[in-house]
Amino acid sequence: MRPYEALYLGDIPKVGEGYAMLTQPYTLPATLLRTELMTFSAEQTGDVEDRRIVAGIGDTRVAHLSEAMIELFWHKWAVQWTRNDFILEDEDASEN
């Protein structure tokens, strides 16, 4: 978990080793990516049919976060911005 403010991303194809600083979030205007609302089938989502916003241009992703990395991100994000180790305290309690 530590350091809370950084999330190590590992070796990213075509980019190299990477990390994200959770203390430096930024946003992009949706118009920059020409977003569109698209319908995805249950087979595509792995759950139910759903409408989602997708980038019309500029979607140059070469990798994505695994479910485990997403969960780690949310834990680090919560601890970083609340300065509360409640997640770690809960994990410590469940081990005893």
pTM (whole model) above 0.75: no
Q: What's the mean pLDDT in 22-29?
A: 79
Task: Indicate whether 79 belongs to any domain.
Answer: yes
Tens of pLDDT, residue by residue over 47-87, are: 899 998 888 876 676 677 788 888 888 888 888 778 776 65
Question: Comparing C-alpha atoms, which of 9, 5, 13 is closest to residue 79?
Answer: 5
Structural domain includes residue 1 = no
- Count: domains in the chain: 1
Q: Report the percent of the chain where pLDDT is more than 70.
A: 82
The pLDDT of residue 95 is above 60: no
Compute the distance between CA of residue 94 and CA of residue 74 in angstroms, rounded to an integer.
Answer: 19
pLDDT at residue 4 greater than cutoff 80: no
Q: Which domain holds residue 77?
A: 6-95
